[in-house]
């Protein structure tokens, strides 16, 4: 069995870990968003993709969107 290769990205003070996995002939990718060594949220982009890179890209964009939306909510509450 193939071991998952975790890649990490930093975005607006958060660490995003991407964990791609095979789903039959397709690829999915889990994202884990962390801040201060605490998991804030995790999930999947919602689809399967024909390549590992496409799955990772979709998961990274989904994670960035969640970070942006949570930051937007905080900014609105503070003003």
Q: What is the pLDDT of residues 6-59, one digit of tens each?
A: 999 999 999 999 999 998 999 999 999 998 888 888 889 889 999 999 999 999
Structure tokens at 3: 């071991």
pTM, to two decimals: 0.83
Choose between 1 and 4: higher pLDDT.
4
SS3 20: strand
CA distances from 55 to 36, 41, 64 (A): 26, 18, 14
Q: Alpha-carbon distance 11 to 14, whole Å?
A: 5
Across the chain, what does the average pLDDT equal? 86
Q: Which fold has domain 7-78?
A: Double Stranded RNA Binding Domain (3.30.160)
Structure confidence at residue 74 (pLDDT): 58
1 pLDDT band, cuts 50/70/90, is low
């Amino acid at each position: 069995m193939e071991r998952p290769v975790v890649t990490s990205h930093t975005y607006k003070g958060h660490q995003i870990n991407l964990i791609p996995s095979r789903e039959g002939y397709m690829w999915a990718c889990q994202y884990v968003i962390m801040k201060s060594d605490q998991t804030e949220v995790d999930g999947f982009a919602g689809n399967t993709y024909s390549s590992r890179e496409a799955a990772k890209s979709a998961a990274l964009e989904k994670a960035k969107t969640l970070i942006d939306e949570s930051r937007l909510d905080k900014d609105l509450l503070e003003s």
